[in-house]
Structure 1
Amino acid sequence: MSAVEAEAAETVRQERQGDPKPRRPSLALLGFVLPVLLALLWEGLVAAGIANGRLMPPPSVIGRTLRDLAASGELLTHATATLSRVAAGFGLGALAGTVLGALTGALPVARRLLDPTLQALRAIPSIAWVPLFILWLGIFEASKVALIAVGVFFPVYLGVAAAIQGIDRKIVEVGRVFRLSRLAMVRRVLLPAILPDWITALRSGLGLGFMFVVAAEIMGASEGLGYLLVDGQQLGRPDTIIAAIISFAVLGKLADGLLVAITRPFLAWQDTARDKL
């Protein structure tokens, strides 16, 4: 038996016995290669005098700014304020989007009644809500959370409604063949069918939540990473602006990773092609 045949036979044996598939070496660090190379290139160009680092500071300057902000406690204060607003807005927007998406997806009457209005509201630019929310809710936290919730609502609503409408009719018929009750049909057939799309919609909504929090904090805040952006602009400090942008990127990635980790057990039943690659 050749080496290739032996390896194939061992793979089949492991799959039949339920053994975990041998994993490739971790490629998690591969995503850092490009940004690190670009940072080193820019650092070298500025150090050599080829590029001007005034408007686009080199990574060493941005690193010192981040270190100083962290040492003074400002970075933690601003990051905590931003995360708390995103968490509150995400919770409200995701809840409302899930409920209304389920209604319009499952009930044709609700879809005809609500969906046209919601689709029209979805077309309104986010910045257009700012003066109205300030007028209604003031310039404090309520208006900021409301703006973030609007940003989160629409992708979750669309994802849930589309997932319910896209359920394969054949799996519903299988549930009826096994004489499942209505509750059992929802729990064992319908809910697993929409879970992947719902989780994807939540991730999309979370990303928009971080986008909307910038507008929310720019429109009037005394703390938060959006406030740090405005402060850097007013003081003419591009290193502060870029430090705030990097902080947004890191917090957004960590929040998305946390959401994926929390929801992963609910998708453990999936047998996708990605698991075999």
Structure 2
Amino acid sequence: MEKPVALTTTKRKKFTIPVDKFLPFLIPIIVILLWQVSSSLGWLSSSVLPSPIAVFQDGVELTVSGELPKNLSISLYRATVGLLIGGGIGFLLGFINGMSNTSRLLFDSSIQMFRNIPHLALIPLIILWLGINESAKISLVAIGTMFPVYINTFHGIRSVDPDLIEMGKSYELTRKQMFFKIIFPATLPQILVGIRYALGVMWTTLIVAETISASSGIGYMANNAEDFVDMETVILCIVVYAVLGKISDLIAKSFESLLLDWQNTGRSNI
């Protein structure tokens, strides 16, 4: 007697796009499509707002000529150096004032007073002091990015749970061990929030700095294109700034996921 042959069925895997990966791009895609359709139908004049295709073609031409990569690299250099200087000073001041009551009473009030001055209002003074060279632009970015990092670092340290401090003392931790095992991990989320906010201030400050007495950078390209009524390049520069801002924010979020993985692990175990 023959044995019955078992029929095997193979399930086909359906290709699905994760909703959480697609939704962040939905509104930009809709805006670009509506923008292009409006331009193609003549609802938007090219002298007012060029079509996305025209802006893309202008970007390709400027990339091939080398003008866009050159100015982009200069802007990235100014932004990165300014953020490192300003963020470093902000972290150092926030750490010192957060850990020491004497330092807080001595310096915090003056820093808060200086923080409330719009840093872009210092442009005339910085030009008089430093001229119109790279140091002036980098200094302006550094001033703008210093305060978000400072205020978040300072309040992060001052907001550490006192019970955690008492636990560290009960385990007889040294000041160094107390900082690296308790204070810094508890403050890190606040510091990263300050850095993300500082990134936005960084690009805003750089745009202004590069449109005033500059001869290079994305802001200079936009200002120069405005003089020649080159709307494609003006819109291209705005798009470049938006993309740079988004990329820098994604990098900051990646660092948050990496450095704060212990928080997510702790929550998943609850």
TM-score normalised by length of structure 1 = 0.85
User: Does 1:222 pair with 2:215?
Assistant: yes
In the alignment, the residues of structure 1 paired with residue 266 and residue 235 of structure 2 have an alpha-carbon distance, to the nearest angstrom, of: 39
> Does 1:46 find its partner at 2:39?
yes
- Show structure 1 runs of 4+ deviating over 4 A: 272-276
Spell out the pairing of 1:11-26 with structure 2 (5 A cutoff): 25=18
Which digits, 9 at most, give the CA deviation of each residue in 1:48-67, with x for residues without a partner? 22332321111111111111
The answer to whether the Cα contact below 8 Å between 1:130 and 1:219 also exists between their aligned partners in 2 is no
Instruction: Determine if contact 2:196/2:249 at 8 Å carries over to the other structure.
Output: yes
- Distance in 2, matches of 1:273 and 1:184, equals 21
Q: Is the 8 A contact 1:217 1:226 kept in 2?
A: yes
Query: What is the CA–CA distance in structure 2 between the aligned matches of 1:48 and 1:70, rounded to whole Å?
Result: 29
Contiguous gaps of at least 5 residues in structure 1: 1-23
Structure 1 partner of 2:251: 258
Which residue number in structure 2 is paired with residue 7 of structure 1?
Answer: none
User: What residue identity is the alignment partner of 1:178?
Assistant: Y
Report deviation, 1:144.
0.5
Match of 1:138 in 2: 131
What's the % identity of the aligned pairs?
33
Q: Residues 121-132 of structure 1 correspond to what in structure 2 (within 5 A)?
A: 121-132=114-125
Pick the structure with greater CA Rg: 2
Q: Which digits, 9 at most, give the CA deviation of each residue in 1:233-257, with x for residues without a partner? A: 1111222111001111112222232
Residue 195 of structure 2 corresponds to residue 182 of structure 1: no
Query: 5+ residue gaps in structure 2?
Result: 1-16
Q: In the TM superposition, what is the alpha-carbon distance from 1:92 to its structure 2 partner?
A: 0.4
Task: Please tell me whether the aligned partners of residues 189 and 256 of structure 2 are also in contact (alpha carbons under 8 angstroms).
Answer: no
Q: Give the whole-Å Cα distance in 1 for the aligned partners of 2:156 and 2:95.
A: 9
Residue 169 of structure 1 pairs with residue 168 of structure 2: no
**Counterpart-to-counterpart distance in 1, 2:141 and 2:119:** 9
- RMSD over equivalenced CA pairs, Å: 2.0
Equivalent residue of 2:263, what SS? coil
> How far off its partner does 1:262 sit?
4.2
Q: State the shift of 1:273 in Å.
A: 9.2
> What secondary structure, in the 3-state scheme, does the structure 2 residue paired with 1:49 have?
coil
Tell whether the 8 Å contact from 2:94 to 2:151 is kept in structure 1 after alignment: yes
Return the alpha-carbon distance in structure 2 between the equivalents of residues 45 and 262 of structure 1.
Answer: 39
Partner residue, 2:78: 85
d(CA) in 2 for partners of 1:275 and 1:233?
53
The total of aligned residue pairs comes to: 253
Q: From 242, 257, 260, give the equivalent of 1:267.
A: 260
C-alpha contact 2:98 2:155 (8 A) present in aligned 1: yes
AA in 2 matched with 1:271: N
More moved, 49-58 vs 227-236 = 49-58
CA deviation profile, 1:170-229 (whole Å, cap 9, x unmatched): 111111222222221111111110011111111211221111111111112111011011
**How far 1:260 sits from its partner (Å)?**
3.5
